[in-house]
Copies of this chain bind each other. A is one copy, B any other.
């Protein structure tokens, strides 16, 4: 029997093994027929941030450079994080940047992406108008903002980083802001509860994450606190910016082990790897490292490509990990000016882009492949959990392989 299979078959927890039976309109087997199979998408979320395409989405940016960057982006990823930082999204009260965000979200939704809004509550990039309010109005304002945006984007954005960096939130000192003051007054769990409950009330389908850069025991304790408090989280978000160097397989596996024991899916929400010199280790807050220029170098790009493969290989090797979101496709406008992109500022791909694509759309991808059904109209399909197009007798059907349990699928044409 023809077996169309993904190249890399060592990740059992990611693999569906389906017997596909093709039948005609009368239910008889389509024996010895030419059949083709092409993977359409991964269930695993390979994401990046779509911040570069917001002006494109509303037609304000029509540059060739952005068009090419978008092609590269859509050619690799299936999930997109979009920015809802209050200080940028709604710098003037009641004048949110909703139209541009909606256009951008639809652009990616139409491309088959899972779109996530980031974040609903955070103590950084806060809005001046909110910082001028008394605490009770801050809370009311945050609640209203959550309801408005989660309801307003429902059906287009159904995944949210509900609240960001709660471990440090009440004791954050780098910027005076009222979100920190509210967190100090209410306590961490009540902040998380506020964000999650408002978001869920506004969109019953919402998939809600807690997200943090602090991957120490503090975050474990915070998660235990939220669970003890009955706050219903859908996934745990783990940031892994690596401007100071790749964390290595051992540390990544250790964190996955520690955070997976709560039984919630893990999303690596913010990863970055530099293709230039590393940030000095003594820097604690990455934002404190400000330099005029941070070039991408040939050696750095080779290292970044190698680390990109090691990072993604490690993450997909662990069943609890359901998403790996990188923090910037391009060096152009990258966070901290760091060369963390997979595309250089001049628009050419770095080795990391090709290396990751050769995994996501190569070793971990099926087809398009041509084969034949057997005398029972069957063939076997071994592929990553995800969606596939099967074409037989001139008709294409889309199937979703959603379980690692052995299955039989019937294709009726």
Contact, CB under 8 Å: B228 / A167: no
A220–B216 Cα distance when bound, in Å, is 13
CB nearest to A214 among chain B residues: B217
The residues in A between 76 and 132 inclusive whose CB is less than 8 angstroms from any CB of B are: none
Check A393 for interface membership: any CB of B closer than 8 A: no
Interface stretch of the complex, out of A7-15, A142-150, A184-192: A184-192
Check A261 for interface membership: any CB of B closer than 8 A: yes
Check A333 for interface membership: any CB of B closer than 8 A: no
Check A1 for interface membership: any CB of B closer than 8 A: no
Check A168 for interface membership: any CB of B closer than 8 A: yes
Given the interface pairs A171-B258, A184-B261, A261-B184, the reply to whether A225 lies near B221 with Cβ below 8 Å is: yes
A228–B184 Cα distance when bound, in Å, is 16
Contact flags A255-279 to B (C-beta < 8 A → 1, else 0): 0001001000000000000000000
- Minimum Cβ distance to chain B for residue A394 (Å): 56
- Minimum Cβ distance to chain B for residue A186 (Å): 11
A176–B98 Cα distance when bound, in Å, is 54
Which residues does chain B contribute within 8 Å of A228, judged by CB atoms?
189, 225-226, 228-229
Which residues does chain B contribute within 8 Å of A226, judged by CB atoms?
228
Check A201 for interface membership: any CB of B closer than 8 A: no
The residues in A between 164 and 186 inclusive whose CB is less than 8 angstroms from any CB of B are: 167-168, 170-171, 184
Q: Looking at the complex, which one of B170, B214, B224, B261 makes contact with A225 (CB distance below 8 Å)?
A: B224
Given the interface pairs A184-B261, A224-B187, the reply to whether A167 lies near B229 with Cβ below 8 Å is: no
- Minimum Cβ distance to chain B for residue A189 (Å): 5
Main secondary structure of the interface of A (DSSP, over half): helix
A256–B258 Cα distance when bound, in Å, is 30
Contact, CB under 8 Å: B258 / A221: no
Q: Looking at the complex, which one of B214, B217, B225, B229 makes contact with A171 (CB distance below 8 Å)?
A: B217
Which residues does chain B contribute within 8 Å of A184, judged by CB atoms?
261
Check A222 for interface membership: any CB of B closer than 8 A: yes
Which residues does chain B contribute within 8 Å of A258, judged by CB atoms?
171
- Minimum Cβ distance to chain B for residue A258 (Å): 6
Which residues does chain B contribute within 8 Å of A319, judged by CB atoms?
none
- Minimum Cβ distance to chain B for residue A160 (Å): 22
- Minimum Cβ distance to chain B for residue A260 (Å): 12
Which residues does chain B contribute within 8 Å of A216, judged by CB atoms?
216, 218
Which residues does chain B contribute within 8 Å of A187, judged by CB atoms?
224
Contact, CB under 8 Å: A188 / B229: no
A184–B220 Cα distance when bound, in Å, is 11
Which residues does chain B contribute within 8 Å of A219, judged by CB atoms?
221
Which residues does chain B contribute within 8 Å of A214, judged by CB atoms?
217
A228–B186 Cα distance when bound, in Å, is 13
A295–B168 Cα distance when bound, in Å, is 40
A188–B221 Cα distance when bound, in Å, is 8
- Minimum Cβ distance to chain B for residue A251 (Å): 13
The residues in A between 221 and 255 inclusive whose CB is less than 8 angstroms from any CB of B are: 221-222, 224-226, 228-229
Contact, CB under 8 Å: B224 / A188: yes
Contact, CB under 8 Å: B224 / A189: yes
A217–B168 Cα distance when bound, in Å, is 7
Which residues does chain B contribute within 8 Å of A222, judged by CB atoms?
221, 224-225
- What 7 A-B pairs are tightest by C-beta distance, nearest first? A225-B225, A218-B218, A221-B221, A228-B229, A228-B228, A221-B222, A224-B225
Q: Knowing that A188-B220, A222-B224 are A-B contacts, what are 13 other residue pairs whose CB atoms are under 8 Å apart, sorted by A's residue number?
A: A170-B220, A171-B217, A171-B220, A171-B258, A187-B224, A188-B221, A218-B218, A218-B220, A218-B221, A221-B221, A222-B225, A225-B228, A225-B229
A-B contact pairs, 23 of them (CB 8 A): A167-B218, A167-B221, A170-B220, A171-B217, A171-B220, A188-B220, A188-B221, A188-B224, A189-B225, A189-B228, A214-B217, A217-B218, A218-B220, A218-B221, A221-B222, A221-B224, A221-B225, A222-B225, A224-B225, A225-B225, A225-B228, A225-B229, A226-B228
